[in-house]
Amino acid sequence: MKVPILFPKIFDYPFTYKSEIKESLKPGDFVKAPFGKNEITGVVWPHEQKTEKKFIIKKISKKININKLNSTMIEFLKWFSKYNLVPLGMSLKMCLLNKDIVEKNLDKEFCKFKIRFNDKKFLLNEDQRKSLTFIRNIGNNYNVTVLEGVTGSGKTLVYFERIKDLFNKGHQALILLPEIALTNQFSRRFKEFFGSEPAIWHSGTTKKNKSIIWKGITEGKIKIVIGARSALFLPFKNLGIIVVDEEHDSSYKQDEGVSYNARDMAITRASIENIPINLITSIPSVETFNNIISKKYHVTKLTKRYKEASLPKVKIINLHTAEINKGSWIANQTINEVSKYLFSGDQVLFFLNRRGYAPFVICKRCGYKFQCPNCAVNLNYHKKINKLLCHYCGYKSLLVRNCKDKVKCDLQFCGPGVERIFAELRKIYPEKKIEIFSSDTLKKNEIASDLLSKVEKKKIDILIGTQLLSKGFHFPRLNCIVVVDGNFSSHGYDLRSAEKNIQLYYQLSGRAGREGNISTIFFQTYTPDDEIILNISKNDPHAFLKKELLLRKEKKLPPFYRLISLIISGKNENSIMKFSQNIKSHLPKLSTVNILGPVFAPITKLKKKYRCRILIRCPKNLFIQKDLSRSLNKIKTLPGIKLEVDVDPINFS
């Protein structure tokens, strides 16, 4: 009997094998089979690959005794592969646990994830009850419902109650979060409500825990998983709902390796599984807002903050007229305002979306700029480690160089990073406890947990943080936020910079005043009349979204048009440009399709490789991936040149 087997390899088709084992095989069954010199895990696939070639058919070694992939998961992997132009085998690889499957019994290990609802009653306010009733009434079949609520309005409790409904009917649930750092504080809220440890799935989860969770969900014994993007590919036995928290967050876009947007793929998976999906947000993404307007998505809103807390007041400090001491980055007016909050026992957050001490360093005598030898970017100076660091490839070097006359360079540190603001605040407030909250300081889970605990217990007076701090954290005593550099200028290569800015600053302002106290967010800026600041101060994000949609439609941009980016990289500039032009000549020529480029990427060189881009633009209703796949399959990639495809790109650098 011939059986098609798909392997987690870079192939777009299954391989044909013979089955002489006693067990019958059905699509979705896991098997062991010889592949090359090794024996590896594969999945019985529904369709055989037809070929004219003659080859020796190998035998399947054995059937693996675990639950098979269900038909909806197979359909999802097939669709994912076609949409994102990813080989089918690589799509399967994202669904498997390393290279092997867990066969041993792990029932004891599942116990800690068993849901045991607490006796504690969680009372919903009128707003929350209305939203929950609305979501329940839409039903348990496929629908997309947006739960939109101002920050601190209690959105989490609403979808926890909805998950409880479906859990009581025997279903499983998946909650997607945009950042790993969010899971610690979120876990505590989960435990309070569901009475168990949450099953957490992300890149930092240990191999052992991944094995337990993977096996538990395939057997239906682990009911709820909280995860980052990759959790979307877990093979649930009986998935009943997907929740995408902070749906607008650009972190849902995977840029390296296999490119995909986890929010969009989650919507497709819900559609194939015929289950509801809830998108949770304080400000919808432009794509989601457009689908609300066109009635494709349902929407329910929470308009009041929990405990009737008011949103922070917005105050703009014009850096053109404000008094700033020499060598300082914080205006005297800002210091006066901050001091009032600190005197009242409140916590203060200084926000600056730049890691390290200074974004670049130059020599005042010879004009030399310290740049990365591997990437076409400046090196950032990190004072804590006393080294220059590339934020793209991780290259490190010492801050030592001689000018032409063999005298040491006279260094100038240009611009502030969070470490520089930290140093300045230490001088201004020597008696206060000050900490930095960024990806550099939160690399280890226990450090993140310890820092969050200190903030909650009021053991930290001043926090200095990057955009990581804007995402879902609850700091009870935080009532003052200072945006050190309210720079709203957009980069030419980022089509979504205005959207990202307004979402970031709305989210950020939502960290303040959550316990009902009077709170303020101060914007230090050289552009006090910028439309984004005015929108934030009027608390009217929808005005921005409506205007942005009109602009996108006029410029033929998403969500009205689809963009697909082809990134060609290699060590030789001329070779990749020549190869890019060759690719362009082979691309499908359709009247409604624009092919832009090739051009060198804004960051021309990354990790020792030069990069070219071709951008394909087509109407949203045209599924160009089919034609594009045929064209790309005919192109032979040259040695040393890599071609990557990014469907629905967010980053154009």
The CATH number of the domain holding residue 155 is 3.40.50.300
> CA-CA distance, 284 to 292, in Å (whole number)?
9
The yes-or-no verdict on residue 435 having pLDDT over 80 is yes
Express each pLDDT in 552-592 by its tens digit: 999 999 999 999 999 999 999 999 999 999 999 999 888 89
Once rounded to an integer, what is the mean pLDDT over residues 269-298?
A: 97
* Judgement on whether residues 257 and 146 belong to the same structural domain of the protein: yes
Terminal Cα distance for the chain, rounded: 51
123: Cβ contacts below 8 Å, ≥ 6 apart: none
DSSP class of residue 636? P
The yes-or-no verdict on residue 424 having pLDDT over 80 is yes
- The answer as to whether 373 is a domain residue is no
The tokens describing 28, both together, are: 């979705």
> CA-CA distance, 247 to 594, in Å (whole number)?
29
* Judgement on whether residues 591 and 640 belong to the same structural domain of the protein: yes
- Of 93, 127, 154, the residue that ends a domain is 93
Q: Residue 298: what pLDDT?
A: 98
More confident residue, 317 or 539: 317
- The answer as to whether 552 is a domain residue is no
Q: Residue 455: what pLDDT?
A: 76
- The answer as to whether 43 is a domain residue is yes
Grade residue 522 by pLDDT with cuts at 50, 70 and 90.
very high
Express each pLDDT in 76-94 by its tens digit: 999 999 999 999 999 999 9
Grade residue 447 by pLDDT with cuts at 50, 70 and 90.
low
- Provide the number of structural domains found in the chain: 4
* Judgement on whether residues 176 and 87 belong to the same structural domain of the protein: no
The yes-or-no verdict on residue 416 having pLDDT over 80 is yes
Q: Residue 440: what pLDDT?
A: 75
- The answer as to whether 462 is a domain residue is yes
Q: Residue 341: what pLDDT?
A: 92
Q: Residue 32: what pLDDT?
A: 93
The yes-or-no verdict on residue 491 having pLDDT over 60 is no
* Judgement on whether residues 73 and 206 belong to the same structural domain of the protein: no
* Judgement on whether residues 149 and 205 belong to the same structural domain of the protein: yes
Q: Residue 307: what pLDDT?
A: 64
- The answer as to whether 115 is a domain residue is yes
- The answer as to whether 634 is a domain residue is yes
| Strand boundaries in 333-429, DSSP class E | 347-351, 360-363, 380-382, 387-389, 396-397, 411-414
Grade residue 542 by pLDDT with cuts at 50, 70 and 90.
confident
**Of 48-62, 233-247, 405-419, 526-540, which has the strongest mean pLDDT?**
233-247
* Judgement on whether residues 296 and 182 belong to the same structural domain of the protein: yes
* Judgement on whether residues 301 and 317 belong to the same structural domain of the protein: no
* Judgement on whether residues 152 and 176 belong to the same structural domain of the protein: yes
* Judgement on whether residues 300 and 329 belong to the same structural domain of the protein: no
- The answer as to whether 98 is a domain residue is no
Of 387-391, 533-537, 576-580, 648-652, the least confident:
533-537
Q: Residue 651: what pLDDT?
A: 82
Once rounded to an integer, what is the mean pLDDT over residues 20-31?
A: 91
Q: Residue 72: what pLDDT?
A: 97
Once rounded to an integer, what is the mean pLDDT over residues 57-71?
A: 91
Complete DSSP assignment for 58-102: PBP-EE--SPPPPHHHHHHHHHHHHHHT--HHHHHHTTSSTTS--
277: Cβ contacts below 8 Å, ≥ 6 apart: 142, 143, 144, 145, 241, 242, 243, 244, 266, 267, 270
Q: Residue 590: what pLDDT?
A: 87
Residue 415's Cβ-side half-sphere holds a number of Cα atoms within 13 Å equal to 18
Per DSSP, what are the bridge partners of residue 316? 523
- The answer as to whether 195 is a domain residue is yes
Quick one: angle between helices 541-554 and 497-509, nearest 10? 170
* Judgement on whether residues 220 and 251 belong to the same structural domain of the protein: yes
Express each pLDDT in 468-484 by its tens digit: 776 656 677 888 999 99
Grade residue 286 by pLDDT with cuts at 50, 70 and 90.
very high
Q: Residue 444: what pLDDT?
A: 53
Q: Residue 442: what pLDDT?
A: 65
Tokens 């105050």 sit at which residue?
315
Q: Residue 400: what pLDDT?
A: 84
The yes-or-no verdict on residue 317 having pLDDT over 90 is yes
- Of 285, 307, 329, the residue that ends a domain is 307
The yes-or-no verdict on residue 456 having pLDDT over 80 is no
CATH number at residue 571: 3.30.70.600
Mean pLDDT for the chain? 89
Q: Residue 264: what pLDDT?
A: 97
* Judgement on whether residues 303 and 328 belong to the same structural domain of the protein: no
- Of 544, 573, 603, the residue that ends a domain is 544
pTM of the model: 0.91
Once rounded to an integer, what is the mean pLDDT over residues 366-392?
A: 92
Residues of the chain with pLDDT > 90: what percent? 60
At residue 105's C-alpha, the angle toward residues 103 and 108, to 5°, is: 145
The tokens describing 289, both together, are: 């807002």
Grade residue 403 by pLDDT with cuts at 50, 70 and 90.
confident
> CA-CA distance, 181 to 187, in Å (whole number)?
11
- Would you say 393 and 607 are in contact if contact means Cβ atoms under 8 Å apart? yes
Complete DSSP assignment for 348-367: EEEE-S--SSBSEEEETTT-
Per DSSP, what are the bridge partners of residue 414? 360
The residue segments making up the domain with residue 329 are 309-354+416-544
Q: Residue 36: what pLDDT?
A: 86
Grade residue 529 by pLDDT with cuts at 50, 70 and 90.
confident
Express each pLDDT in 225-266 by its tens digit: 999 999 999 999 999 999 999 999 988 999 888 999 999 999
The yes-or-no verdict on residue 492 having pLDDT over 60 is no
* Judgement on whether residues 607 and 464 belong to the same structural domain of the protein: no
